[in-house]
Structure 1
């Protein structure tokens, strides 16, 4: 496929998610919904009306429409006949720089030359290609798979060039420049004429061009940005509605209240009061941080067989998100694509994740669903993670209260453990597949050797997270007490049996003196306040 010049240095992948044939009966409608991917609509018969991006389009046979990610739309048939549509759901993925061997991609939007109703001589070609793609998809035999893929890529190529002969490529850059300005100056009094001047276009041409590319007017797009920031600021119970309105560019508080309720279905006050009940978390460790702050998330990653200590909380989490792991034949992107759709349907007030995930998986896509807060995972320790999340949610007092209680508990436990085992060494060893690992500063070492002051038989402070070791290393450590965390797959179990049968293992003082205990990987290998709090309880139960 030949890409436009501004894409030549990027590696782009296009993924077809679903192709549906939808028949809307006379007088009925397709309910209002929000896109989680690109959506290409083809009017295959009948007549209807499409409402998207604050505009109405006549849906007549032969017309085609492209909607971007995060756009609300609804379709109704006109009285006197039904309406038949083909709906193609697909994603545009961009490769990301990575130090890993596996390539990573993020979903992107806003890169096609036209959005809304497609114009130009290419529409007829797009129409024919999409009908042939539907015909190939309807064929049940496996040999049609290659043909579907070829037709889908051909369709994408036509979308990339749709209307190119009618508009200079620089126009896309003009629109993106004004969007960047809106993001920076949303709190100011911005009008269409000023934005058009920034783009270097006449106001009339700018509005039309913006609508064709983004599917809505520039002012409607600006309102979306303002409302996103308003939702974030309403997390602070100390902020008045008037203050939030003014800080987000709304001079008229009454107008702000009307716009906010029209978008969210609730008043700003109601949203603020219940905002902490609708927080979604995408990064698994931060579920524990929210629980420590007294918040049960609306949506969170759940893997019931993996984090047994959290099972008591799972029933109170309405939306269970998938974990980013390659299991059951799923690709990493397919898991996150499903998560994106679940989040869009749940409508959280705020989305919390680590900084790497926000960049690698979704980029700015998540902001179409709700305001996002990222936590610097590697830059901060777990206490600073808790404080950072509390500051995002305006819950600083809760964080300090929890930490004060934890420090007192750890100090008391430290005295008890010193009386029980003195300076004898204790080590946690993990068995995963055929590998042995020990841990350092950003894992169980933080609570065992820092908070509780136990003696470690190796230089734990030199290990950031985890270090693979061999049996010779374990023998040299020769811990007095041993915590053994093993995975449950067949290969890990076989490795355990080989260890138990070896002379080096039997010679360990912890093994010889029966001071070894088998533990679940979770919470022992988790870096979070809730896990560390539980580790103290478990350790006291074993050693005192």
Structure 2
């Protein structure tokens, strides 16, 4: 139980809560809210359905009446469970501290550490049931009201929501169990090579063995033993990539004393025996420069030995292939740390480097010293021709043609789905800082107008462009669907919060008629075969009206 002394550093009587926005995310069948930055204190309130939250502190199941806190500067993303629907309120707050000066006058100032109000991480179970969701529903309605008393009511209800969290923090309840489960999960992460029993894990969590087994799977979506296997196999892959170890040594280092049992587990997990995996990775191909290069190698059945990765900017490649990529180059802000990446690449001793043409001359010279280099043509060539050129260099032409045939089949199927809605005129917008732009980039152009044969609502026919648009001009454009890309930097996100609440924005036809769809930078700003395939998977939902 959380003691009162843990709150002593904060004078809660001086706390001022200001609600800045309440958004509703609704998704079906695996749809995502991509990982994004929280510029304000953010409370995530599940309403219905099931899904998963990924934050800086871990991954959590979303359940009704179990709230999650994301502090300013943290990141969070949401994914709907396959075959299910999910609705979640995302409420952002500014937490202020009321201060009295020497004259007895009061003023407010930003709290220096608003996250310190909340002791626990993960989910916080609040009571009474349904109250938090009801508060968010009312706040969302009242914030957009023209009645100032209604807007005042929204602020009072926001304070009530924060009160519910803080009072639950003091009382402890089920959130302490969630913390205990995190401890047992962390124990597996650290001691995976040891003999681990359910009884040991249950003791760490302070639960009975039977209750621990049920609650672990309910909380994390996988049994404790299956999670242990996943951790061990990921570690085994790392050892196979980095060391010249015998299979029995790798098995022993990840917790298996029988190398044949280890081989069976590995094949069951990844669909191939360890020997085949090691042979497949024997040619070390590195990707240097754009993270999109990985999206050209994967269709050829090649996972790069080294590649640019970042948990936020390349989350898909991190999640699905991070464990298979032995050397993680820094992908922050388009290869900002170039010299460090070159040094790391030199230490990896790759057999071949795939790069993009936008590199500086000095980088290209250094790459040639490290290993033979193949420069992928620039985007003007088109993604199909680029893929085939790379396939020719790597002697994987057949793999490329098979992948393209599969992609074309999927594109035809999606086109047929969309035709039942008639020809759709599409407008792509980008919000950067406080300016909206009519936007076109190679990825949008290829998918929307070439593969899906949709119509352009904006008169410019081709090329990459960013043309400033005012709200009045935007309202005159005839578009059946508008895709909005919001740049992930602080000034833009803050302006977006204000814009959504403004009367001119809410008066736009595209807003009143629910024709606006938000699209994330990843994959929509990446021009590669894998990114286009992912965009294609999302297209039917975007244009058929499933998304809010």
Please, what TM-score do these two structures have when normalized by structure 2? 0.45
